[in-house]
Amino acid sequence: MISTSKRRLVILTEGKLDIHSAKTAVSIVRYCKDEVVAIIDLYNAGKDLEAIIGIGKDIPIFSTVKETLHLKPDSLLIGIAPLGGVLPIEWQIHIRDALQNKLNVISGLHTYISDDLEFGKLAQKNQLNIYDVRKPPEKLSIGTGKAKEVKTFRVLTVGTDCNVGKMVTSIEIANAAKKRGIDACFVATGQTGILIEGSGIAIDHVLSDFISGATEKLILDRAQYNLLCIEGQGAVIHPAYSGVNVGLLHGALPQGIIMCHQPTRKTLRHFENFPILPIQHIIELNEKLVQPFQSCKVLGISLNCYGMSDEEALREIEKTEREIKLPATDPIRFGVDKFLEVIQPLLP
């Protein structure tokens, strides 16, 4: 578990400061804004963060770690989740500066920062920690279907593609449920979710045989809650990331699913030769993957209306509800009350 209390974070985005490339940074700013003291990005230094990503008012952008030291940060957080999760080589200087100036380093990359001999020695010398969030726990087991025995109601977010709002939707449902007095928990399955929640397992870094078992562990460890909002990963139709979607379905054995979709996106991200299939088709695929074990239904459609005006978003929501016959909303713009109205009566 990573402590999320009293952190003072500087977030490195270096030339990647937009809502897609800097997904981790944007999410930390959205949900942990009071812990973020600055952004490090040479290409955007001095600019207005809110004007760039739509949130983060009054958080300054600097060029180097040293320029942030007067704000008394305690950790440097790697703010991107690039394709393949590899550390950009030009970022090494910032990590070196952070460790030399006695900042912990927090990374969600597939590349383990702690494996670098130089960085490891610097951390040891200065009594610092390097947190590689994607490192899975040891001795994971294969899935056994035990999640089905847990009485808590389990809602998993799935998507028509990667990076369409599965984490955000899960967090928003959990937060809204808590406001209603429901004993709810957000279950993080990706590096950014773990950084926000302080616990979880990065499913995409677990050996394939153990994905469902790792997911099952997350469920069993949280069996005391009435509602688990489980962060989805990948997409069942994605040629690269279908495995994590299926593993989550079979490990969590959810009773309910929220389908996440970006209406303006017509092809799979990074795979422009693959069109995104109709929502109804993907709904049926996900439901059928759980049906051998228990009943499971898609309960609503979460629309990521990025690039659309509010009027366009509302029209898209109305169109989706009319065609799919399920409640739809954009969680960030219009909240998730529609989903809670469906979920709450199903709780134990």
Q: How far apart are CA 166 and CA 268, in angstroms?
A: 15
pLDDT score recorded for residue 86? 75
Identify the pLDDT of residue 82: 66
Measured CA to CA, the distance from residue 45 to residue 12 in angstroms comes to 12
Tokens of 100: 């030399």
pLDDT value, residue 252: 98
User: From start to end of the chain, where are the E strands?
Assistant: 9-12, 36-40, 61-62, 75-78, 104-107, 130-132, 153-159, 184-187, 227-230, 256-261, 267-268, 271-275, 297-303, 328-329
Which pLDDT does position 130 carry in this prediction?
A: 95
> What CA–CA distances, in Å, run from 54 to 50, 294, 347?
5, 41, 35
Looking at residue 339, what is its pLDDT? Answer: 98
Give residue 83's pLDDT.
64
Amino acid at 314: L
Q: Does the reported pTM lie above 0.95?
A: no
Instruction: Profile the chain (348 residues) by mean pLDDT over runs of 10 residues.
Output: 74 90 93 96 96 96 97 95 74 94 94 93 95 92 96 97 96 98 98 95 95 98 98 96 97 98 94 94 97 96 96 98 98 98 97
What confidence score (pLDDT) does residue 13 get? Answer: 94
What domains are there in the chain, each with its CATH number?
A: 9-132 (3.40.50.720), 146-346 (3.40.50.300)
